[in-house]
A = this chain, B = another copy of it.
């Protein structure tokens, strides 16, 4: 059985891929070159797919800079040094308009062409940046739409399912799960605003990752710039 796994190269998506492999799927990894300032994550995605033994990996280019509106794709500063309570209070400027919807839609296209019904996504609604497209109600609505959108869904040859194995886990739990499944976190990259290839240590994504390793009582294999 085949599954399409969205793989950014970060800690969460690497762990979600490891879950898909644990669940017995042959994994087709999909990454996006969308004009993000942290392009270094694409190299991480390729390393992670190779190390975990994915069946295939593909990078699709889609220029979301054409629309702007986010600190990840536009000339807007990435917030630094925020606490997690502050992150949860409002949707930050690193939110990319409709990003997960665009990514999941393209993953759905690949899944249907492959004859795969299962999609894996490393979203998380506990230790997260407050993005609306990481919440369970959004995932359910996407899944429902996907089964009405497609030939395979309408003809009932495939039932599309969006798997979000990390959605209810804390960052520390995600890290422990990934380690138990053989994820090498030194290969991953989570920073929104890397300094060269080095994670900044102070963006929301770095703050959440570092707190997760600390809470799990483990050392993060990455070296941070700040």
Once the chains are docked, how many angstroms separate the CA of A129 from the CA of B138? 30
Report how many residues on chain A are interfacial, defined by Cβ distance under 8 Å.
45
Which single member of B102, B148, B150 contacts A105 (CB below 8 Å)? B102
**Least Cβ–Cβ distance between A65 and chain B, in angstroms:** 10
Closest chain B residue to A69 by CB distance? B113
**Least Cβ–Cβ distance between A88 and chain B, in angstroms:** 13
**Least Cβ–Cβ distance between A183 and chain B, in angstroms:** 27
Q: Which of chain A's residues 48-98 have a Cβ closer than 8 Å to chain B?
A: 58, 60-64, 66-69, 91, 95-98
Closest chain B residue to A115 by CB distance? B69
Contact with B along A121-145 (1 / 0, CB 8 A): 0000000000011010110011011
Which single member of B91, B114, B153 contacts A155 (CB below 8 Å)? B91
Contact B110 A105 (CB under 8 A): no
Q: How many subunits of this chain does the assembly comprise? A: 2
A-B contact pairs, 22 of them (CB 8 A): A61-B62, A67-B109, A67-B114, A91-B151, A91-B155, A98-B146, A99-B109, A100-B149, A101-B108, A101-B109, A101-B145, A101-B149, A102-B106, A104-B105, A105-B105, A132-B149, A132-B150, A137-B148, A138-B145, A138-B148, A141-B144, A141-B148
Top 9 closest pairs, chain A to chain B, by CB: A69-B113, A97-B112, A98-B109, A141-B145, A67-B113, A105-B105, A132-B154, A138-B148, A98-B108
Cβ of A108: which chain B residues have Cβ within 8 Å of it? 97-98, 101-102
The SS class assigned to the A binding surface is helix
Once the chains are docked, how many angstroms separate the CA of A108 from the CA of B97? 8
Once the chains are docked, how many angstroms separate the CA of A146 from the CA of B64? 17
Given the known interface contacts A105-B102, A106-B102, the answer about A91 and B154 at a Cβ–Cβ threshold of 8 Å is yes
Cβ of A68: which chain B residues have Cβ within 8 Å of it? 113
Cβ of A137: which chain B residues have Cβ within 8 Å of it? 148
Once the chains are docked, how many angstroms separate the CA of A112 from the CA of B62? 17
